[in-house]
Amino acid sequence: MDTLTAEQIAERIWLSIAERRLRPGMRLKETELAEVFGTSRARVRQVLGMLEREGLVTIEVNKGAFVAEPSVEDARDIFHIRRAVEGRVLERLVDRLDKKKIETIRRHVEKERIANADNDQRQIIKLSGGFHQMLAEMAEAEFLSVLMRDLISRSSLITAAFRDSAKYNCGPDEHEEILNHLRDGDPEKAQEAMRHHLEHVEKELRLAAGRDTPRSLKDLLS
Q: What is the mean pLDDT of the chain?
A: 89
What mean pLDDT is predicted for residues 185-190? 92
pLDDT band for 219, please (50, 70, 90 cuts): low
Residue 132: helix, strand or coil by DSSP?
A: helix
**Residue 214, CA atoms < 13 Å, CB-side half-sphere:** 8
pLDDT at 222: 58
pLDDT at 203: 87
Burial label for 44, CB within 10 Å (0-12, 13-18, 19+), is buried
pLDDT at 184: 92
pLDDT at 210: 42
C-alpha distance from residue 11 to each of 30, 48, 72, 183 (Å) = 16, 11, 25, 32
pLDDT at 43: 95
What mean pLDDT is predicted for residues 97-123? 95
Instruction: Domains for the chain: give ranges and CATH numbers.
Output: 6-69 (1.10.10.10), 72-203 (1.20.120.530)
Report the C-alpha gap between 159 and 125 in whole angstroms.
11
State residue 173 phi and psi, 5-degree precision.
-60, -45
86: pLDDT strictly greater than 90: yes
Residue 68: Cβ within 10 Å count: 21
Q: At how many degrees (to 10) do helices 30-37 and 6-18 cross?
A: 110
Q: Which of 2-6, 13-17, 50-54, 194-198 has the lowest mean pLDDT?
A: 2-6
Greatest mean pLDDT among 60-64, 85-89, 214-218 lies in 85-89
What mean pLDDT is predicted for residues 43-71? 94
Residue of 209 and 125 predicted with greater confidence: 125
For residue 202, the surrounding DSSP H or E stretch is: helix 187-203
167: pLDDT strictly greater than 60: no
End-to-end CA distance of the chain: 18
Residue 66: helix, strand or coil by DSSP?
A: strand
209: pLDDT strictly greater than 70: no
pLDDT band for 204, please (50, 70, 90 cuts): confident
pLDDT band for 164, please (50, 70, 90 cuts): low
pLDDT at 212: 46
pLDDT at 211: 42
pLDDT at 3: 81
pLDDT at 1: 56
Residue of 168 and 136 predicted with greater confidence: 136
State residue 79 phi and psi, 5-degree precision.
-70, -30
Residue 178: Cβ within 10 Å count: 25
108: pLDDT strictly greater than 90: yes
CB 11 within 8 A of CB 129: no
